[in-house]
Each structure stands twice: as C-alpha cells, then as structure tokens.
Structure 1
Amino acid sequence: MKDLLIELFSEEIPARMQTRAADDLRRLFTDGLVEAGLTYASAAAFSTPRRLALTVEGLLAQSPATREERKGPRADAPEKAVEGFLRGAGLTREQVETRDTPKGPVLYAVIEKPGRPAAEIIAEVLERTIRTFPWPKSMRWGSSSLRWVRPLHRILCILSDEGGAEVVPLSIDGIETGDRTEGHRFMAPEPFSVASFDDYAAKLKKARVVLDAKERADVIWHDATNLAFASGLEVVEDAGLLAEVAGLVEWPVVLMGEIGVDFLDLPPEVLQTSMREHQKFFSVRNAKTGRIERFVTVANRETADNGATILAGNQRVLSARLADAKFFWENDLRVARDDMSTWLQALDSVTFHNRLGSQGDLIRRVSALAREIAPLVDADPDETETAARLAKADLASEMVYEFPELQGVMGQYYIKAAGGSEAVAAAAPGHYAPLGPSDAVPVDPVSVAVALAEKIDKLTGFWAIDEKPTGSKDPFALRRAALGVIRIVLENDLRLDLRQSFRSHMNAHPPGEGDDLDGKTDNLLGFLHDRLKVYLRDQGVRHDVIDACIALPGSDDLALLVKRAKALQEVIGTEDGENLIQGFKRANNILTQAEEKDGVEYSFGPDVKFAEGAAERALFAALDAAEPRIADALKADDFAGAVSAMATLRGPVDAFFEEAQVNSDNQTIRRNRLNLLHRIRTICTSVADLTRIEG
C-alpha cells in the first residue's frame, strides 16, 4: 500500500472559496481514482491562503486487471449490427469468439484490461482534476491556457511507502510536479522537500504555516479570548468572521488594540459591524456594560516589535472608518429627534416592487393590517399602527445606507431618540424576525402584530400579482415569510383566522391575472400548509397526520391544527390507536363499496333494535358514549380529550367485526349495519380525516 500527497501551491486564494475548494479537490480526485479502478483507505483535504493539499492513504500499487465477457448479436446478424458491437468492444472480427447457443451461433467479446501502475492513474486523474476544477471564478496568466483561481506556481505530488517517496511525473502547461513546497511568504519563503504527509505537515509548521483551517481558527479564538480575559473583557462571538479570518492567514498572530475614546459611545452594533465589514476585526466588549471597548485583529506574521507597528496602522485606519460611522450616527440622530416623517417621505420614492408600489406604499399597507391584527394579539391598536409606520423608517437613514444589515437595529435607536415607547422601538428590529430557523420570534404583542402584518403583506402581495416561488427559485424569500408566520403563530399560541386575513388583505394589492380572490387565498393557504408540514416534520410529526387534520374545517387556525395533529399522532402511535385506524379503514372500505354498488348513501341513523348479538349492541353503546364526549372536547378545543374518546372505540369496533357479518343476507340487518358503519365514519372523521392516515 502507498500513500499519496498532493499540494497545489498558488497566489492567495480568496478565503470564501477555500473550504469548498478543498472539498472539491478531494471529491473530484478520489472519484477519478475509483473510476479508474484504484481504491484507497482514506482521504483528507486541507486549505490555506496559498495552497490546497490532499492526502490519500492506503492506495493500491496498481489497479487490478479486469476480464469482461460481453454477449453480442448472432454471428449471421446484419453487418451494421456486428460493426456496432465490435466498435463498442474495441475489438476486430478476428478477436471475438463465436459460440453455439440454443438460438444459434452468437458472437462473444472477451475484453481483458491489464492493471495500470498507480502513478500513471494518479497523473491522469490529477491533470483532469486541475484542468476542470470548478472555481466560482478563475483566471489565465501569461501565455498559459490553464485556468486557476490565482496563478498556480507549484504542483507537489509524491507517492510514499516504507521504502521512501517518489515523485509522480506530470507536466501541466510548463509546471512540473515535484516534492518541494514553500513555507510562509515572509517568515520562511525558502523551498524545501518533503517525503510524506506527516513530514509535510511538520515542516510546514516549522516554516510558519498551520495547514489545518480548523486548527488556525482554534488558535485565533483561544488567543483572542485569553487576551480579552486578561483585561476583564470578552470577545463577541462571530463564527462567520472566525472562518473568514482563518482563511486569510497561514500563521495567525492575534493582537488586541484600543478603540478611540471618541467612538466608545457609538451603539455596539455599529462598532461591531463597521469593524467586521471593513477591517475583519473581532469586537471586544465589557460584559457588565455591553459596550464595545477594544478590538482583536489577526496578523499573518510575527514581528520584532510584537505587532506594535501593525496595531498602530490598524488603529489609524479604524479611526477613519469610525469617524464616518460617528458622522452618520450624529446626523441620523438629528433627523430622528426633529421629525422622522422626513425619512418616510423619502421612502415614497424608493421602489419596493414595480407592481406592488414603493416602500411608502408598503408601510401604509402594513400599518393598516397591523392595526387590524393588534386586538387579536392583545396589542394596543394605536401603538401598533405607530410602530408599523416607523419600523422601516431607518431604511432612509445614512447609517443603514452604509450598513444595510443594521436595518431595524438602528430604527430601534432612532425611535427611542424621537421619544417613542419601548414597545414601538422594539418593533423596528422585531418585525423582521425570524430571519432564519434558529432566530427567536418576537413575543411582545406590538412586535408580533407588526411582524405578522409585514409577512402577510408580502405573501398576499406576491400571490395577488401571481409571483409565486417555483421549484428552487424564491427570489422574494416567500418561503421564509411563510415559515415566519407559522413560527410566530405557534410559538405565541395565537388564534388567528388566516384565511380571512389573507383574503381581505389581498384586496389591498393590485390585481394579478384574473380576480379569483378565493382561489388565490386557498392557494396561499395551501402554500402555508406545505411549509407547516416541513416545519412539523423536523419535530417528528408525520405528514399524513398533518394531512388528516388539514382536511377538516378550520385548518387556517394553525395553533389548533398543530394541537390536533400532535394529539392524533400520540394516540395512533399506540397499539389501541393503530388498531382503531385499521378498524376505521375496514368500516370505511366496506361502506364505500356498498354505497358504490347500491347507488345510495347509508347515512340514515342505525337502530339498536335491529342489533344482533352482544358485540353489536356494545358498539351502539360505545358510540352513544363517545359521540358527546368527542363533540364536547372539540367544542372546548381539547383535542387530546377528543382523540382519547375516539380511541375508546377500538375494542367495540374490533369485537363487532369479529362477531358480525355486515353484508348479511337479511337486507334490513345489512342496511342497519351499513348505517352503523356510517356512524363510525362520521364520529371518527369529526376528529380527523382518518382516510388520509397511511398504513
């Protein structure tokens, strides 16, 4: 067995491309090996700003020889058929056999392929991998036809075993493979040879290169948190920034610097965003006050002055950036304290969608809808309308123009500065939530009303103009809006008539093709139900159980729908529940077949006086007892109670089918029993449409 080491050494690879590139290198190369018949034990890929590396362990010394027998046409088949067979097998007529079979003489090709040395296969697969590598963006340089993300300088490719290492010979556009690489660009630029992956990783570390991106990230976080802790501070967690910075350095050197006192009173979100976006700095805050007081930067080299010069330069650049942020902040505060309607007027000139009007139109629609929703969520209508009117005002502010990701966050500050209440201010960031599956939903009634209004307006607007998601395309994030509605309703346990809200608010939008508001409303509600299935599936609720509950009236009340589904799933997961479903389906099937055959509906009430036997009379009694219990429970929204009452029918239904023959020769008895089955179906389907339960 042999081990393989490959390194593709280039100019700096953008940090955002490194992880994907390492995965692509491993996938493309190992897939190519397997297709060529060369198996291996394990493979791992690594990336730094200047290199992609791949180690493959346990390679065969050569691919195994193969022998394949391929049956062809009859020996006397038309010439074109024979030629096609020979061409596919890569053989001549003299190289194939003719064998006698019960159907006459048939041509057989025996294709033997000898094994190939590992080095030959590796060179072939590596060249194909390099030339077809799927970089998001690539370039050519000089007179070379090769495309790579940045100019490629070296290709290291060696096979090693106990006896030593050998270079796999390959030349790509003048770049010859070898066993040499380079260390850190500044601290150890001299080339050196390696003999194995372990030797490679150890020598790189001596040459001030940490090969593993996770190890670099761990070093950065460990050193940063230690520096902050020593000053009584803490580093603000930012996983995305940590991954990006780990892709910018090969030898991370963590330094902590000061923020000018003139900028310490800026909102922490402004400081954090400015430093992250412009400088790739981590924010360091005082845990007691929440104020950002320092920053952490990561250099790519050690210096004689322990980073003092680097820090001084960074602090100068940072001061210039923060001076801009402070200017925006102070200007925006003056506008907010004077009259925020200035921003609202400006938003009348900002297009939301060419068929749905301006941002100002959007704000007016959302304000009206939020006022309607307010009483349903125990929010003050006047306060809610004010919150909805101001929630997007910061879109016209200078700070949000510079940092769009601060929309809502800055609005909260500006509304407070203008004298707005805490509830009104909280709606500015809160009405966008949740942006992702892990985001918290708003819980304050005013924020809940505005968040629901904003999302319902978006959904009904795009449904009104027939701009719905198709396949994987969802340019207006309507699936996210629907999931937001679902989570806000369920996590706040809200009782809302969404069908009515959708239909009435769809009138607030320009009409699309046709004017079938009921049809569009039903379609939108179906879209919401589909999102609900995905959401509940992740919580372990079966899709057929949800379908069984959606089929009943009132399915637009999501809170009740989910309670019904969870109660139903809990019962049908038991032996009694499973057997009840089977008994119900048996009753439903017999009844359906009889109604189709007879051309009548057996919905006339069954009479116990025609019952024969104890089991049949017991079923009548069980239905008489369960029906009012189920009805009362449903009226009280006690779905667990309703499902529990339905489950009591399991025994009597089973006993009835064991004792009685529904299709009796006595037509009076038969009609009465079919009416009895109709009663079973009616009572059970009042809880859920059990015909939709699978199994």
Structure 2
Amino acid sequence: MTKNYLLEIGLEEMPAHVVTPSINQLAQKTAKFLKDNRISFSEIDKYSTPRRLAIIIKDIAEKQDDIDVKAKGPSKKIAQDDEGNWSKAAQGFARGQGMTPDDIFFEELKGVEYAYIQKHESGKDVSEVLKGMTEVIKSLTFPTRMRWGNYDFEYIRPIHWLVSLLDDEEISLKILDVESGRMTRGHRFLGEDVEIDSVRDYVEKLRSQFVIVDAKERKDLIRDQIQTIADDNDWVVDIDEDLLEEVNNLVEFPTTFHGTFDSKYLEIPEEVLITSMKDNQRYFYARSHDGKLEPDFIGVRNGNSEHIENVIQGNEKVLVARLEDADFFFKEDQKKSISDYVAKLKTVNFHVKIGTMYEKMQRVHQISEHLAGLFGLSESEKTDLLRASDIYKFDLVTNMVDEFPELQGVMGEKYASIMGESDGVAKAIREHYMPISSDGELPATSVGATLAIADKIDSLVTFYAVGLIPSGSNDPYALRRQAYGIIRILDANNWSMNLNDLQKFVVENLNVPAKLDLQANANDLNDFLIDRVKQLLNTTSVRNDIVDAVTSGSNIDPISMINTAKVLQKHVADVDFKSIMEALGRVVNLAAKADFKYSADLKMADSLFENPSEKELDKQVQAIYNSQSKDATNLYDQLASLKEVINSYFEENMIMDKNEDIKKNRLTQLVITNHLIAKLGDLSKIVVK
C-alpha cells in the first residue's frame, strides 16, 4: 500500500527570482534522497509561493526495499592464522557488519581468497526514513543567504514553520527552534493559520485562506485576467514571460487591475515608458492594434478585488511620479550637446586600473579603423563607424541613463538622432552593447557589429593587460560574455580576424598608459577567445573531436575554425574520409620527427629527389600554396586530393634514410606539407573508424 507525503517550508517572503529555482532544487534533491534510501514513489508535485516551498510525494512506499548485501573483507591469509583462528582484522570486519566471525565465508577473486559476509537488511519504515528530510532542507543552496537570531545557520530567508505529513500522520522534523506540525499560514493579509488534516486537503485548505499554492495555476490565472482586460479595452498586450514569472512569484492570490496616465507622457521615448512600467513597476503595457503605445498599464495585486480603486490610484500616482522625472530628464538632457557629454567622460573611470571612458573611446577608434579595413566596410560605413567610435559612450553621463542605467545605448541612439547624427551612427551607438546575453540579439548593421567587436576587444585586451582575468566562475566584468559576443558576431557576418595579427596590431598601435602591458597575457587571451569558439561549435552538430581538431591547428582565425569544423563535419560520412584522414595523418606524424619547424624560407633540394612521388607531391603542394585559397571547402578538397600521391610517397620513400641529406630533404617536404594540413587543424585529434 502506498501513501502521499507533504513537506512545506514556510519562510519570510523570498526574492521572486529565487522561488522557481529553489522549488525545483527541493524536488530534485528529494528525489535523490528517496532513491539513495531505497524508497520508491511515482512523482513529486511542486508548489511554491513567495512564502513557501512545498512538495507532495505521490505513491510513496511504506518501507525501504529489503536488500541482500555481500560485504568483502580481508584476504584469507590475513583473516586467519595457520591454525584457522580468526585474526583481529577478521573480527573487526565481522563486527563492522553487525555479524560474528562464524558468518564469514571465503571466495576466490582473481586467484586470491577473500573473506565475505552475506547479510540481509530489512527496509526501515518510511516514517523513519522521512525524518532525514531535515538534511534535504538544509542542503538547498541559494544565490544569497542570511542568518537570524543567534544561529549560525544560513538560508535564503528565516524559516517560520514546517508542515510534514504522511497522509494524515505527522512526521517529526526540527530545524533550529522550528518544529514541524500540521499548521500552515494563509495569505498574510486576507488569510489565517489553518490546520492540514491530510495531504489530500493541502491545496484546497490554502485556497480557502487566499493562497493559490500551485504556481502554474496562479500564472495561468494572471495570464487569463490580463487577456480579459485587454479584450475589454480592445488592446494588444504582449505578455513578457520573464515579467509574468517574476510577478507570479511575488503574489499568493493574484488580482489584476489596469490604470492610466496622461497621454502627454507619450512624447517621451517609448523605451523610457516601457522601462518605467515593466522594469521599475512590474506593469504590463498595452498597445493599440496599429502598434502604438497606449497611456495605460496592467498591474497585479497580491490580494482580492476589495478596495481595488485605491490600489489603482496608488499605482497611478507612483508611475506618474516616475514619468514626471523621466520627462524632466529627457528635456534637460537635450539642452547640452554631444561634445559636452563626451568632455565629461574624461572624468569618468572605465576602470581605476585602466583609465577613463574617454580614453577607452580613443582606443576603440583605433581598433575600429583597423577592423573597418579588415572587414571590408564601405567608405560611408567607415565614416559612420569612426564618428560613432568618438562619441558612443556619451549617454552614460546623461540624466536619463543615470536614472535608468538599463537604457544606456538606447538613449544614446535617441539623443544622437535628435542631435543630428546620421542613422548609421545612432544605430551603432545602441548596437555596440549587443549581444547583452550569450544568446542575445546581434547587431543588425555592419557599423554596429564592427563597433561592438572593437569595444569588446578593447575591454578584453585592457583587462588582460592589468591581470584582471576570469578564473573559475569568477568573471565580474563579464569578459566571457563579451568574448563569446565577438565570436558570434564574426560568425554571423563571416568576418575573418586572425588573433595573432590582431594582437600584433594592438601592441604596435594602441595608445595606452605605460602601466598597461598589452603583451603580458596575450597568449592567454588568444586561448580564451578560442575557448569561446569551442563554446559556439558545441551548440552545433559538429563532433567534439572535430571541434578539438580545428581549435588546435595553426590557423587561429575564429571564422576559419568555425567554417573548417562545418566542412569536416559535412565530410565525416564520406566513404573515403577515413582514408583521407589516415593519409594526411601520416604526414602529420612523420613531420613531427623533424628537429626544425616550418618557416617561409624553408626550401627543398630538387636534386635530392629519388622517386616520381617526391616531385609529384612537391608539384601539388606548391599548387595549393599558390592558389592562396582561404575557403575551408576548397582547402579540404585540395588536401583530400593529395591522398593518392601521399600514399605513393610513403610506398616509394624511406623518410628516415641513411643519407642525412636525403632524410632532411624528405622531412622538409613533410614539414611544408604539414604546414598546409595544419590550416585544417590538428588532424591527430579526429577519431576515424
């Protein structure tokens, strides 16, 4: 016969962003606890509000499964002396198993006899096992933790009550001075404490006290209420799922309402209005069917509809105060010029160890000019890029961005357009922040994409120059995100950017204070960027061994690595892929035996060729060098075409010839050929079957 078990952890209000991860963690750790303790169950239902984390374990077994255990002890020669008497080791082994030496038997394992004890363990009653749930509760981890009272124990918020019931039977738990029972708490303002008689009553008992404990039910209710308001007013409301999740975890009994604000505020940029409503007040905004923002908002109250008019008036008052500030900032900001704001950046630190924002923009101007030529931007695009690089951080010192930091870039675009900058410059100012997350939107314009790369390159090289390098999970300046953004933008535009050449340009051309050693961690920075290439490729269907191969070769251009990986993945199913890799791999392996490396002036002596295959390989390899093709598909096809001549080469020639001159000549030929192959990657890492 199975039962159901309820655990509820009652807390002070948790931050909204913690609720869902915490209930998921509680369910996962509970499932592991039950599995480790041999308790079967069918499923775990999750319930959560800002004040509680609760689970109901369905069809939980009445007791642990019985098990038969064969424990292995010391070898026979240690367990017994020559006369068959039990040693202290054997006695200790038996005692540790709760048995006596008479229960020991011997079995052979790999030619050696060992002592064993066979024992039967009867499962404990589930009510005994569930007392261990206190350890599950204590094991939960949170992004922030707090203490209370005189206790050293830390948790997301103070624990005020515990409910622990197996059907209708109380299972005793205790954490600090909080002992479990069957009393839970209703809505903080509308409800009362209520006794849970049985697990099956939990959801409805709380509903009677104005707590909808099922998070999905609560979210669906909010969504339906918003849609009803939208339909009644002929609005279009695009429900932001992140905002809905946040609001849902702020309330226990949701009631939606809508308020209005004066239409004069619609003259403020839409992004400011939306930020004020959505990010600051957690309101949903409304549009007309033709896409225009309406002077209305929808909020969610943690309570019922009583006195809702007072709630609406209060929320309108708060929002209007914010909009008044925004309107004032918007008008005041336009009284100064962009050059005024740029001058102020001379006193704003980018980082105390690196310099000011103004100095950063000067460096980004240099990098942008270099990248414009590298990426083939048109003259008009280059003009916009260089102008944008001179001013693109100006909005950081405006009143609006000071009040709404999340609008940096957005207000830069708005003010730049108002103050007469070209559309390309204005868009680039906004787009240079992109992507703002690992999978965020990328810049849509070439000017914005180039400025975004230049800005991120400057951040990377300067932080690395002063030793502020990410380690482990520590990345306070989001350098991983910025580096990944560079790789994503290069990939989206198919732009080539050799990392060694970039480092050379930076060291030779960037105007930086003497305290910035741009060469100090250059190799580490290259590796850091290549790791982001791996990260990108790991989101595709490219095999791991191919990813390792292309990121370990001589070509450290991210787009070449990415394109080469895709080409190799495309060919892995070819019938001749294995034989091609084996042929090229032989060159790689034998070239490694040379005691010299490739250089542009490395030459062979034709007079030392003894067989036709040497001349033919030289001819075909030189043809590939002369073609100067950077296309990954062409390079693969060209190298694949060498298979037959390579096979003939190794059939006809002894590489490690007794004649030292011939030996060196052949090794030279292989090193030159391997230099080409290395452009694909380290092919020794590719697994062929």
Same fold? TM cut 0.5: yes
CA contact (8 A) 1:62 1:117 kept: yes
Q: How does 1:101-500 map to 2 (within 5 A)?
A: 114-122=122-130, 124-131=131-138, 133-135=140-142, 136-140=144-148, 149-150=156-157, 152-160=159-167, 165-170=168-173, 175-189=178-192, 191-197=194-200, 199-286=201-288, 288-304=290-306, 307-335=308-336, 339-376=337-374, 377-380=377-380, 381-500=382-501
Deviation of 1:28 after TM superposition, in Å, equals: 3.7
How far is the alpha carbon of 1:419 from its aligned partner?
1.4
- Tell me the distance in 2 between the aligned counterparts of 1:52 and 1:242: 19
Larger displacement relative to structure 2 (364-373 or 83-92): 83-92
Paired with 1:693 and 1:159, the residues of 2 have a C-alpha distance of: 56
Deviations 1:234-286 (Å, cap 9, x if unpaired)? 22443322111101112221212212223222212111212234322122233
Query: Of the candidates 614, 618, 634, which is equivalent to residue 641 of structure 1?
Result: 634
Contact 2:604 2:668 in 1 (8 A): no
Shift of 1:64: 3.9
Q: Which residue of 2 aligns with 1:504?
A: 505
Once the two structures are superposed, residues 640-679 of structure 1 have per-residue CA deviations (whole angstroms, 9 ceiling, x without a partner) of 233224334446666888xx575599999xx79x959956
Paired letter, 1:71 = G
**1:4 aligned onto 2:10:** no
Contact 2:4 2:59 in 1 (8 A): yes
> Which of 680, 684, 688 in structure 2 is aligned with 1:692?
684
Question: Equivalents in 2 of 1:364, 1:533: separation in Å?
Answer: 31
Q: Distance in 2 between matches of 1:477 and 1:172?
A: 38
3-state DSSP class of the match of 2:362?
helix
Does the 8 A contact of 1:45 with 1:55 survive in 2? yes
How far did 1:379 drift?
5.0
Give CA deviations for 1:454-508 in whole Å, capped at 9, x if unaligned.
1121122123223322233222222222222222222223344553343333442
TM-score (norm 1): 0.82
Give yes or no for contact 1:65–1:115 (8 Å, CA) kept in 2.
yes
Task: Letter of the 2:135 partner, please give it.
Answer: R
Contact conserved, 1:497 with 1:557, CA < 8 A, in 2? yes
Secondary structure of 2:440's partner? Answer: coil
Secondary structure of the structure 2 residue equivalent to 1:284: strand
Cα distance 1:651–1:663, how it changes in 2: closer, same or farther (>3 A)?
closer
Q: Does 1:682 align with 2:688?
A: no
Paired residues for 1:507-526 under 5 Å: 507-511=510-514, 517=519, 520-526=521-527
Residue 165 of structure 2 aligns with an amino acid whose one-letter code is: I
Pairwise CA distance, 1:606 = 9.3
Whether the aligned pair in 2 keeps the contact of 1:62 and 1:118 (CA below 8 Å) is: yes
Q: Deviations over 1:7-58 (max 9, x none)?
A: 2234433322212321332234343334444333322322112221111123
Partner of 2:570 in structure 1?
Answer: 570
Question: Does the 8 Å CA contact 1:332/1:399 hold for their aligned counterparts?
Answer: yes
> Structure 1 counterpart of 2:394, which letter?
A
2-structure distance, mates of 1:36, 1:19 = 26
The 1:84/1:262 distance shift into structure 2, 3 A limit, reads: farther
Cα displacement (A) at 1:291: 2.7
Please tell me the residue identity of whatever aligns with 2:339: S
Q: Is this contact kept in 1: 2:496–2:559, CA < 8 A?
A: yes
| 8 Å contact from structure 2 (residues 45, 56) kept in 1 | yes
Match for 1:272: what amino acid? I
The structure-2 alpha-carbon separation of the partners of 1:127 and 1:436, relative to structure 1 and needing over 3 Å to count, comes to: closer
Distance in 2, Cα, partners of 1:224 & 1:55: 30
Moved more, 412-421 or 228-237: 228-237
The alignment's TM-score, normalised by the length of structure 2, stands at 0.83
Residues matched between the structures, number: 664
- Amino acid aligned to 2:25: D
Over 3 Å counting, the alpha-carbon distance change for 1:580 and 1:595 in structure 2 is: farther
Task: Indicate the SS of the match to 1:234.
Answer: coil
Separation in structure 2 between the aligned mates of residue 116 and residue 314 of structure 1, nearest angstrom: 56
* Deviation sequence 1:413-441 (CA, Å, 0-9, x none): 11122111111111221111122232232
Shift of 1:186: 4.3
For residue 79 of structure 2, the aligned residue among 71, 74, 78 is: 74
CA distance in 2, matches of 1:195, 1:232: 46
- Structure 2, unpaired ranges of 5+: 597-601
Q: Contact 1:96/1:109 (CA < 8 Å) preserved in 2? A: no
Larger displacement relative to structure 2 (143-152 or 528-537)? 143-152
Give the Cα separation in 1 of the matches to 2:4 and 2:550. 58
Which structure 2 residues correspond to residues 509-588 of structure 1 after superposition, within 5 A?
Answer: 509-511=512-514, 517=519, 520-542=521-543, 544-545=545-546, 548-549=549-550, 555-586=555-586
Offset at residue 168 of structure 1 (A): 2.2
In structure 2, how many angstroms separate the alpha carbons of the residues matched to 1:457 and 1:48? Answer: 44
Q: Which amino acid aligns with 1:39?
A: S
Q: Secondary structure at the match of 1:334?
A: coil
SS at match of 1:61: coil
CA-based RMSD? 4.2
Look up the equivalent residue of 1:168 and give its one-letter code. I
Instruction: Look up the equivalent residue of 1:38 and give its one-letter code.
Output: I
Shift of residue 179 of structure 1? 3.8
Deviation of residue 206 (structure 1)? 4.9
Contact 2:19 2:50 in 1 (8 A): yes
Distance 1:680 1:649, change over 3 A: farther
Return the alpha-carbon distance in structure 1 between the equivalents of residues 230 and 561 of structure 2: 50
Distance 1:101 1:146 in 2: 49
Amino acid at match of 1:576: D
In structure 1, what is the Cα distance between the partners aligned to 2:156 and 2:670?
71
**Alignment deviations for residues 295-354 of structure 1 (CA, whole Å, 9 cap, x no partner):** 11011222246x32321221112112221222222211222xxx2222222222222112
State the Cα distance separating 1:220 from its structure 2 match.
1.8
Do the aligned partners of 1:228 and 1:234 also contact (CA within 8 Å) in 2? yes
Structure 1 counterpart of 2:55, one-letter code? L
AA of the residue aligned to 2:639: M
Percent sequence identity over matched residues? Answer: 27
Q: Which amino acid aligns with 1:238?
A: D
Check conservation: 2:103, 2:117, Cα contact below 8 A: yes
